[in-house]
Chain A
Amino acid sequence: MATNLKTILLVDDNQLFLKMLSQAFKKSGIKCITAESGRHALEILSTTIPDAILSDYEMPDMNGMEFRQQLMDNSSFKDIPFVFLTYIIDNDLMLKGFDLEAVDYVIKDTPVNVIVSKLNNLIYTVQKQQELSKSEIKKAAEALNVKSIPTKSPDIKGFDVDFWHRPYQDIPGGDFIDFIQANERYTFIVLGDIMGKKWMAWFFTFSYLSYIRSAIRFCILNQDYSVGSILQKVNDVICLDDLLKDILSSLSLLMIDNETKAISYAGAGDLPLLYYQAKTSQLKQINGDGLLLGLFAGSVYTEQIITLADSDQLFVFTDGMIDFSDAGGNKSDYNSFSKKIENTLADNNSFDEIKKELFEPLLAVQVDDCSIINIRKTI
Chain B
Amino acid sequence: MTLMTLKLAPKLRGGTSLWIGGGLVALAVFVAVAAPLIARTDPVMDANLMNAEIPPGWEFPFGTDAQGRDIYSRIVYGARISLTVGVGSQILNSLIGVSLGLTAGYWGGWWDDIVTGLTNLMLAIPSLIFALAIMAILGPGLTSLLAALGLTAWSYSCRIARAQVLSLKSQGYIQAARILGYGDLRIMFTQVLPNILGPLIVIATLGMGTAILSEAALSFLGLGIRPPFPSWGSMLSEARDQINTVPWLSIFPGVAIFLTVLGLNLLGDGLRDILDPQSTTRR
The judgment on whether A and B are partners is: no
